[in-house]
Structure 1
Amino acid sequence: MTDHTARLDHVVLWVSDPVAAADFYEQAVGLEPLRVAEFKDGSVSFPSVRIDEGTILDLAPVSMAPRMTMLPGADRSAGRPVNHVCLALTEDGYDSLRARLEERDVPVSDHGRHSYGARGPAVRSFYFTDPDGNVFEARYYEEG
């Protein structure tokens, strides 16, 4: 197998309310919130949530879009949808996530089977959206 030294560091999601989004990702999805207090006190521009030791989701307020000047047109990126972000979990984590979402009346798709991803075909998967309409897939692979 090829040695892939590049890793996914973060994905930036445009959200209407970063604090509410961080709460959703903590309570419903089970991710660790980062820098929420600092965002609330104005010392950072946005909070984040941790997916794993090397990957986070940044929860950028849509109001920040006009300040995106790193590339021509970057300020118009707010509202440009990413198709979806996929979270790979253990089977127990997958079942727990689905249960938490259903407890909160978050609509979830039917279970898919054998959809292809970074580690080959997943055993099962499903989709859900966050309160801002960002689409997520959750999946698990064979252990071992």
Structure 2
Amino acid sequence: MTKNSTRLDHVVLWVADPVAAAAFYETAVGLEPIGLAEYAEGEVSFPSVRVNEETILDLAPHSLATRMRMLPGSADSAGHPVNHVCLALPADAFDTLRARLEEHGVPVSGIDPGLSGARGHATRSFYFRDPDGNVFEARHYD
């Protein structure tokens, strides 16, 4: 990991139930929960899930919105998911994720070929929603 270059560190997702959200991301998506026990014990404000060694998704409860004071209007963002978050995966992990989501009854879109992204043109991509309505795209590049 390079600590002195620009990287995506985390994305905060508003969720109704952080424990249920963490369970979804662990079982249906295959991401490792972080801080779940600490959240359950009231030691931290929210749990997270690890996307990779550099990036996590924070699972913030709607009730945390009133404490969002870093910018005017920040509290108003609760319940408004981002348009989508894109996960770039190796081809085998892409296929595994799609099968895993379908196995857990998560609706997935059709396969979209040739979309552009941070690494150029992706070979395939598809979309799915988490239980809170946050939209994810999964893709892989050759």
Q: TM-score, normalised by structure 1?
A: 0.94
- Deviation for aligned residue 1:80: 2.1
Which residue type is aligned with residue 81 of structure 2?
P
**What SS does structure 1 have at the residue aligned with 2:87?**
strand
Query: Which residue of the partner structure matches residue 113 of structure 1?
Result: 113
The CA distance in 2 between the partners of 1:56 and 1:86, in whole Å, is 13
Query: Which residue of the partner structure matches residue 6 of structure 1?
Result: 6
Query: Which residue of the partner structure matches residue 92 of structure 2?
Result: 92
Do residues 64 (structure 1) and 72 (structure 2) align? no
- Deviation for aligned residue 1:32: 0.8
Q: Deviations over 1:3-48 (max 9, x none)?
A: x921100000000000110011011111111000000000000000
Which residue type is aligned with residue 65 of structure 2?
A
Do residues 24 (structure 1) and 24 (structure 2) align? yes
Do residues 101 (structure 1) and 62 (structure 2) align? no
The CA distance in 2 between the partners of 1:34 and 1:124, in whole Å, is 29
Percent identical pairs in the alignment equals 69
The CA distance in 2 between the partners of 1:56 and 1:105, in whole Å, is 24
How well do the aligned residues superpose, as a CA RMSD in angstroms? 1.0
Query: Which residue of the partner structure matches residue 134 of structure 1?
Result: 134
Q: How many residues align?
A: 139
- Deviation for aligned residue 1:105: 1.0
- Deviation for aligned residue 1:79: 1.9
Query: Which residue of the partner structure matches residue 47 of structure 1?
Result: 47
Which residue type is aligned with residue 56 of structure 1?
I
Query: Which residue of the partner structure matches residue 81 of structure 2?
Result: 81
The CA distance in 2 between the partners of 1:23 and 1:5, in whole Å, is 32
* Ranges in structure 1 where 5+ consecutive residues have no aligned partner: none
Which residue type is aligned with residue 27 of structure 2?
Q
Which residue type is aligned with residue 73 of structure 1?
G
The CA distance in 2 between the partners of 1:106 and 1:21, in whole Å, is 13
- Deviation for aligned residue 1:72: 1.1
Would the aligned equivalents of 2:86 and 2:136 in 1 still touch at CA under 8 Å? yes
Which residue type is aligned with residue 41 of structure 2?
D
Q: TM-score, normalised by structure 2?
A: 0.95
The CA distance in 1 between the partners of 2:81 and 2:21, in whole Å, is 17
